[in-house]
Structure 1
Amino acid sequence: MTVSTIQMPAHETTAQTGASLVVSTLERMGVDVVFGYPGGAIMPIYDAIAGSGVRHYLCRHEQGAAFAADAYARTSGKVGVCMATSGPGATNLVTGIANAMLDSVPMVCITGNVAQGVMGTDAFQEVDIMGVTMPLVKHSYLVRDAADIPAIIEEAFHIARSGRPGPVLIDLPKDIQFQTTAETRAFHLPNDNAIADSASIRAAADAIRSAKRPIIYIGGGAKISGAVETVREFAAMTGIPQVSTLNALGTIPTGQDNYLGMLGMHGTRAANDAVQASDLLIVVGARFDDRATGKLAEFAPNAGVIHFDVDASEIGKLRAVAVPVVGDLKPNLEALNRELAAGDTINVRDWSDQCRAQMAQCAVDYNAPGDGVFAPALLYQLSEMAGPSFIAACDVGQHQMWVAQHCAFSRPQAHITSGGLGAMGFGLPAGIGAKLADPDACVVTITGDGGVMMNIQELATVNRFKIPLKIVLLDNSRLGMVRQWQEFFFERNFSEIDLSDNPDFVKVAEAFGIEAFRIDHKDQVTDGLKRLLETDGPILAHVIINPEDNVWPLVPPGKNNSEMMEGSR
């Protein structure tokens, strides 16, 4: 990570303040949505944004603003933008910045800072936010001259979305926001796409043709690179079974032939067993995350690896690679498809039949006993009723895994969650960002009683802007995932997981001006989901579930992915 000061040829323009240059540059770049919260050190920018073409959404916490910008980027394909003042405003962005970094989300975060003359003096609300976020951003800038602002913003957007995307921080001292300039410096777009050479593509094609038990292992990079249709073409042309990571769900539509589901800790038995038995992994934009691989030393022990990734540092980082293919996924996969189409037919029919048969054997039984609500069944029904326009903006916990396992996704934008960071509190502001990015979609925030309390203030944002967000709140009065681990791996020592003193969430939602109702018996589920989906405005369904229900299957810590624990509920 480095700090940039751009020194480029100047050109004349109408005199503007640094603050007005920030807003006019955002407008010129097509930014029409910004999330943020004002304060003293960023007040000049908020003065300039009033009446501009940039619509600002006032969130009720800076973390909410960062999460909303993150989800807006994931849904729209644009760069998400958030703003905050210095000190606590900037530090409240940090979790959202880390979330974007770990999930490779393009985001530009603009912070105000104290005037340069008092920097380093422990001035009021002074924090070295560049130092704080240095490990969490792709790049960061401390603006020293208002004339640099347009070039810095343009370069920040380019860095945020190019290569492996991620967050970029722009820190603006207050005196720079007031500074007037009549000249600005230009940014010249570099050409930095790396394309693999033909020898790598031929080697990959040869390895695929000779494999007997290949698996396509799809990561979030497939969506990020715009290669979804190319991956689907590759899968259909070869007939090779596919698995996906949490952040790649929807790249292959749920229910597609040869798609085995998510792999890893809470993946399907069919996906994990197929990967463990494979002789070749064709890795497309994935990073061998520990939640996907289980015990790394025993992950796919007999498989060679072809690794497609734009980030060269991921190649060989955790697993030896037989064929590295570094560069933009889309053109490289297109080249592979052409190479395979020109050669011998790939025959993996017996292997694919075997994988599909195991998938059928592992079909979920949604007819749980008792009168209570079975969360997997409700979530399966929710996505079926919502149809192809469904987008799940999911929080973190047991419900996150149930969503991944049981909801149907037609495209990768349909599943938005905090994957790498696992940040509770993501779901509600993420639903706001997703709905603003795709107003015609059926966006449903799916959260738990633990996660929703971390950013519940964003119900005020939903109400203020009349965002027609649907919210499903699964309430087991517990920190469910922690409770599950304590049950199996900490001798049932249930420490600090009791949330039985939760508020009445229906009354809480209504106090924020949002319609709400409760579901606590399974015979209420169908009508409740119908009400949820057919209501025009925002609405919250408070769903009571059994506190002892667990997420199955589960790969225990320190075990390989074939050593899965399985249970009924």
Structure 2
Amino acid sequence: MADARESLVDGNLLAARAFARAGVDHMFGVVGIPVTSFANCSVSEGIRFIAFHNEQSAGYAASAYGYLTGKPGVLLTVSGPGCVHGLAGLSNAMINTWPMVLVSGSSDQADAGKGDFQELDQLAAVKPFAKCAVKATDIRKIPELVSTVVNSCVAGRPGGCYLDLPTDVLHQTLPYGEAADLLEAVQPFVPAWADGDPSGGRTAVSEDKIEAAVAALRGAQRPLVVFGKGAAYARAEKGLRDFVEITGIPFLPTPMGKGLIPDTHPLAATAARSLAIGQADVVLVVGARLNWLLHFGEPPRWSPEVKFILVDVSEEEIELRRPHVGIVGDARLVMEAMVREVKDDPFCLGRSHPWVEKVRAKAEDNVKKMSAGLERVVVPFNFLTPMRIIRDAILSLGSPSPILVSEGANTMDVGRAVLVQTEPRTRLDAGTWGTMGVGLGYCIAAAVAEPKRLVVAVEGDSGFGFSGMEVETVVRYQLPVVVIVFNNGGVYGGDRRNPEDIKGPYKDDPAPTSFVPGAAYHTLMEAFGGKGYLVGTPEELQFALNESFSARRPALINVTIDPYAGAESGRMQHKN
């Protein structure tokens, strides 16, 4: 709290103090009318403000910060178009179920309907993308509503919340004493894994459900454990690993679940994914939804007879899927209970179990096939040759391993198969919504949330283009971020059209998928004082990785890829 000699507190300062009291320590955004003073007040109250060029990138940063830390990621925008741009981050948080708060200034309430500067019914605009949306119509409401959005975004299934701060409310004032009394009502949020509160305020796990789940797995012939970023958010890695190692059941992570148990673990079924999901008869799904990423849990990718055990913090999710066993609860608490249940009456498939041997043999065969492609040096680069060099360079760093940010159709697809995750919450990618443009925002959030880790982005040139200007933000804050751009001249690749097939008055335009060939993305980083590299051979790439990883300063490596190396839609042909 600031000096008690202050006689009046305005809405900007009251809001800043409310957020600080609620436990918010970082804020991301773009300032301007009417929120610049609020941003400055937040800094004075001990909140670090990371200023971006674009609200979309700032919103992606806020959502990823919420995921990595369990704290509400706060995005601040101006009114009207700033709020609209911020919806990208808010909706991303909702779909990925990450805790985030969008705070936007808005027009003067007295001028509503008159065509005020950047006027918009922002409450109506955000409601489809938020768990709750509230508006401070008077300065006295600010502390209560700050407490509401901060606590709502982390409660139950996490998600995005919205707070509207009208211009006139930000300019209203209160006596210091009254403001201090109002701030007493602000409740600091408590993350689910906070020390001293092992339950995180969550309800107790049903022992009957735990017993039923273990009994189903015990009786299975081909059991499988699947886990996702919900388990990562809940810090469930120890329980998951203990359960897998006690029972000997193979496991399959979703992309952002990778690393909860190391990809190198002998029970990892990632390289045998199709076989594992196609033949499993009982599947424990922890912190992952049976959506498109898991083929909806339906045939033909899954067996028609498969039985699912779903663990989710949302009762509505379990009711929607109607699994064989549904367990509502925090993934960490559930897995701890599962481990206790198994220890009381142990069972283990063992390495010689037919199912374990079958999964392992298929995984080893697929790894061997991919290794042949990885070890073959191809210049001009395909996707595999540079990806293998990057993988080896990352693994050589040891622990703590870098946080890997990945986006782009082919780049993300190949990277998911090649780049190895050995520690939890070290992979950020397009996520549940398949969102492109998250890269630089995620990089900045990761560097702020985990300052002891290097952040490495491996992006396609298309994905990079959404947020490339934010390399200036990386340089401005001197964040340990190395951006690697796979430059193949376009979306999926350069112009591959047969000239004889191109007709119409605009036949001389570039293809819809193509960019400027040989774009010098590395010079964008150099323009702001970072280090840029242009590479096209294994030796050049190895040098750039060694130097940039050692320096731990802003760098961009522009990797020239054969424009014919990519394929449309990666592995999503059935959607196109």
Length-normalised TM-score, structure 2: 0.86
CA shift for structure 1 position 213: 0.3
**Among 415, 427, 440, which residue is 1:428 paired with?**
440
**Unmatched tracts of structure 1, length 5 or more:** 1-12, 262-267, 488-493, 560-569
Partner SS, residue 184 of structure 1: helix
Partner SS, residue 534 of structure 2: strand
**Among 522, 534, 541, which residue is 2:557 paired with?**
541
Following superposition of structure 1 onto structure 2, how do residues 272-351 of structure 1 map, counting pairs within 5 Å?
A: 272-293=274-295, 296-301=298-303, 302-317=305-320, 319-347=321-349, 349-351=353-355
Moved more, 135-144 or 45-54: 45-54
Counterpart CA distance in 1 for 2:571 and 2:467 is 28
Residues 481 and 552 in structure 2, CA contact (< 8 A), matched pair in contact too: no
**Among 22, 27, 31, which residue is 2:24 paired with?**
31
CA shift for structure 1 position 481: 8.2
How much identity, in percent, do the aligned residues show?
A: 26
Partner SS, residue 386 of structure 1: coil
What value does the CA root-mean-square deviation take over the aligned residues?
Answer: 2.7
Partner SS, residue 169 of structure 1: strand
CA shift for structure 1 position 80: 1.1
**Among 104, 114, 117, which residue is 1:124 paired with?**
117
Partner SS, residue 422 of structure 1: coil
Q: Residue 497 of structure 1 aligns with which residue?
A: 513
Question: In 2 relative to 1, CA 54–369 (structure 1 residues): closer, same or farther, beyond 3 Å?
Answer: closer
Counterpart CA distance in 2 for 1:525 and 1:79 is 38
1:522 equivalent to 2:530? Answer no
Question: In 2 relative to 1, CA 448–344 (structure 1 residues): closer, same or farther, beyond 3 Å?
Answer: closer
CA shift for structure 1 position 321: 0.9
Question: In 2 relative to 1, CA 477–345 (structure 1 residues): closer, same or farther, beyond 3 Å?
Answer: same
1:371 equivalent to 2:387? Answer no
1:221 equivalent to 2:230? Answer yes
Following superposition of structure 1 onto structure 2, how do residues 67-216 of structure 1 map, counting pairs within 5 Å?
A: 67-181=60-174, 182=178, 183-184=181-182, 186=185, 193-216=202-225
Letter in structure 2 aligned against 1:291: L
CA shift for structure 1 position 503: 3.4
Partner SS, residue 517 of structure 1: strand
Counterpart CA distance in 2 for 1:41 and 1:534 is 42
Q: Residue 412 of structure 1 aligns with which residue?
A: 424
1:440 equivalent to 2:452? Answer yes
Question: In 2 relative to 1, CA 49–333 (structure 1 residues): closer, same or farther, beyond 3 Å?
Answer: closer
Residues 290 and 296 in structure 2, CA contact (< 8 A), matched pair in contact too: no
Residues 394 and 416 in structure 1, CA contact (< 8 A), matched pair in contact too: yes
Partner SS, residue 195 of structure 1: coil
**Unmatched tracts of structure 2, length 5 or more:** 1-5, 191-199, 499-509
Counterpart CA distance in 1 for 2:204 and 2:162 is 28
Question: In 2 relative to 1, CA 152–523 (structure 1 residues): closer, same or farther, beyond 3 Å?
Answer: same
Q: Deviations over 1:317-344 (max 9, x none)?
A: 3x44111111222222222221121124
Moved more, 546-555 or 378-387: 546-555
Question: In 2 relative to 1, CA 387–120 (structure 1 residues): closer, same or farther, beyond 3 Å?
Answer: farther
Question: In 2 relative to 1, CA 398–154 (structure 1 residues): closer, same or farther, beyond 3 Å?
Answer: same
Question: In 2 relative to 1, CA 333–169 (structure 1 residues): closer, same or farther, beyond 3 Å?
Answer: same
Counterpart CA distance in 2 for 1:133 and 1:396 is 27
Counterpart CA distance in 1 for 2:327 and 2:68 is 27
Q: Deviations over 1:279-322 (max 9, x none)?
A: 111111111121331783323223111111111222153x4411
**Among 223, 240, 247, which residue is 1:231 paired with?**
240
CA shift for structure 1 position 46: 3.2
Moved more, 28-37 or 158-167: 28-37
Q: Residue 5 of structure 1 aligns with which residue?
A: none
Residues 106 and 167 in structure 2, CA contact (< 8 A), matched pair in contact too: yes
Q: Deviations over 1:30-81 (max 9, x none)?
A: 3332111112122341352353322212111111211222232233332211
Q: Deviations over 1:493-533 (max 9, x none)?
A: x9611113463112222112211011101232322211221
Counterpart CA distance in 1 for 2:416 and 2:266 is 18
CA shift for structure 1 position 91: 1.0
Counterpart CA distance in 2 for 1:50 and 1:530 is 36
Q: Residue 252 of structure 1 aligns with which residue?
A: 261
CA shift for structure 1 position 100: 1.2
Moved more, 180-189 or 459-468: 180-189
Residues 379 and 406 in structure 1, CA contact (< 8 A), matched pair in contact too: no
Counterpart CA distance in 2 for 1:470 and 1:225 is 28
Q: Residue 490 of structure 1 aligns with which residue?
A: none
Letter in structure 2 aligned against 1:54: I
Counterpart CA distance in 2 for 1:316 and 1:300 is 20
CA shift for structure 1 position 540: 0.9
Letter in structure 2 aligned against 1:513: G
Residues 375 and 402 in structure 1, CA contact (< 8 A), matched pair in contact too: no
Counterpart CA distance in 1 for 2:151 and 2:360 is 42
Question: In 2 relative to 1, CA 371–340 (structure 1 residues): closer, same or farther, beyond 3 Å?
Answer: same
Partner SS, residue 512 of structure 2: coil
Counterpart CA distance in 2 for 1:294 and 1:520 is 41
Counterpart CA distance in 2 for 1:59 and 1:555 is 32
**Among 480, 490, 497, which residue is 2:492 paired with?**
480
**Among 382, 386, 395, which residue is 1:384 paired with?**
395
Counterpart CA distance in 2 for 1:197 and 1:15 is 51
CA shift for structure 1 position 468: 2.6
Q: Deviations over 1:197-217 (max 9, x none)?
A: 222111111101100100001
CA shift for structure 1 position 104: 1.2
CA shift for structure 1 position 171: 0.7
Residues 251 and 412 in structure 1, CA contact (< 8 A), matched pair in contact too: yes
Letter in structure 2 aligned against 1:511: A
Length-normalised TM-score, structure 1: 0.87
Q: Deviations over 1:91-126 (max 9, x none)?
A: 111111111111111111111001111123331101
Letter in structure 2 aligned against 1:247: M
Partner SS, residue 298 of structure 1: coil
CA shift for structure 1 position 482: 11
CA shift for structure 1 position 187: 5.1
Counterpart CA distance in 1 for 2:119 and 2:41 is 23
Counterpart CA distance in 1 for 2:114 and 2:494 is 43
Counterpart CA distance in 2 for 1:534 and 1:344 is 47
Following superposition of structure 1 onto structure 2, how do residues 61-72 of structure 1 map, counting pairs within 5 Å?
A: 61-72=54-65
Residues 396 and 422 in structure 1, CA contact (< 8 A), matched pair in contact too: no
Q: Residue 193 of structure 2 aligns with which residue?
A: none
Question: In 2 relative to 1, CA 528–115 (structure 1 residues): closer, same or farther, beyond 3 Å?
Answer: same
1:353 equivalent to 2:357? Answer yes
CA shift for structure 1 position 558: 7.2
Partner SS, residue 93 of structure 2: helix
